[in-house]
Amino acid sequence: MIKLTSVQIKLTEQLLITVMKKEPNVEYNELGDRLIPQMHWRQVPRNIGVISGLCYQLGLPFLSAKVISKGKNVAGIGFYNL
């Protein structure tokens, strides 16, 4: 079973907030900016990839599929493996 770090748990919480607020998507940089302390957007994909792996193991929806690249409306390539 995948164990999340404290930063990954914070990212998961922020993703759940986007679900509760019915936000259709969130950009990598926006998600990183929502954390305290802030996370650089380039660190976000690796960390949400771990979250996706856990969602996959548990048979849950991919929360991280809501995260898109700036100016694009698609999830990152990290989902192709799952």
The answer to whether residue 77 scores a pLDDT higher than 80 is: no
Report pLDDT for 29. Answer: 92
Residue 44 inside a domain? The answer is yes
- Which is nearest to 43 in space by CA: 16, 5, 17? 5
Q: How far apart are alpha carbons 36 and 24 in whole angstroms?
A: 23
Residue 81 has a pLDDT of 65
Three-state SS for the chain is CCCCCHHHHHHHHHHHHHHHCCCCCEEHHHHHHCCCCCCCHHHHHHHHHHHHHHHHHHCCCCHHHHEECCCCCCECHHHHHC
Give pLDDT tens digits for 61-74.
988 888 988 887 77
pLDDT band at 1 (very low <50, low <70, confident <90, very high): confident
Q: For residue 35, is it within any domain?
A: yes
Triad 12, 76, 7: Cα angle to 5°: 25
Structural domain count, the chain: 1
Structural domain harbouring 17: 6-81
pTM value? Answer: 0.87
Q: How does pLDDT run across 13-67, given as a tens digit for each residue?
A: 999 999 999 999 999 999 999 999 999 999 998 999 999 999 999 999 988 888 9
Q: Does 1 fall in a domain?
A: no
